[in-house]
Copies of this chain bind each other. A is one copy, B any other.
């Protein structure tokens, strides 16, 4: 059966579009519950699976969130701003973390075999042992998880040190690594990707099924190019905006790589 009157798009898409408009025009406020699926089915005069398919579209777009047994709610799209650099700064070498509004939860510290993506960033072969420190960062007020993070330090720098202990470090991690290695952080390479969340990330970050994450792998090197630390951070993709502010250096050498004009 075709939809007959009006639209040429499938019914479920028309319904998704109608609901999306309702939300954008404020008929359903952020945080508010949508009518039950059965009610929507009646309102749009379609069957329940069609409604579910329509709501599924909105879910996959992060516009609404369904809670089993409770209802479907309009999500508020709050994006937190994140600086893309600004990881370091001796201005804060008092030991105060840059992220003091977040609660740091160190979930693991010890020796691990480097996963492929980290090994590649470090320039070592997959499975080589590295010292790993994993953390989850929570908003202190709302107590919601905001970030999954991990730092990987080469074994020859950190093996047998306090970095293998699951304690809070006395000062910013990079300062500890500088002390232990005798070298200073000099240059870095950040690698950003957006991808769909893994099942573990969905659980840890409280994401909806099929949610996406922003994933950055940060490789910090000394002046002699040895890797001092690889760290990664993972955020819910729809809760962050990455901000990067910089001076334009028109004289800089331009690598011959793809880039937008």
A186-B248, A189-B245, A251-B91 given as contacts; is B196 within 8 A of A62 (CB)? yes
Of all chain B residues, the one with the shortest Cβ separation from A195 is B238
Fill in one digit per residue for A7-28: 1 if any B CB lies within 8 Å of its CB, else 0: 0000000000000000000000
Fill in one digit per residue for A82-94: 1 if any B CB lies within 8 Å of its CB, else 0: 1111111111100
Whether B194 pairs with A214 at a CB distance below 8 angstroms is yes
Q: Is A182 an interface residue (CB 8 A)?
A: no
Among the listed B98, B188, B246, which residue makes an inter-chain contact with A254, where contact means beta carbons less than 8 Å apart?
Answer: B98
Of all chain B residues, the one with the shortest Cβ separation from A192 is B242
Q: Is A79 an interface residue (CB 8 A)?
A: yes
Among the listed B62, B101, B216, which residue makes an inter-chain contact with A258, where contact means beta carbons less than 8 Å apart?
Answer: B101
Chain A 208-260 interface residues, beta-carbon cutoff 8 Å to B: 210, 212, 214, 216, 220, 231, 233, 237-238, 240-255, 257-260
Which A residues are within 8 Å of any B CB, using their own CB?
57, 60-62, 79-92, 97-99, 101-102, 104, 137, 147, 149, 172-173, 184-196, 210, 212, 214, 216, 220, 231, 233, 237-238, 240-255, 257-261
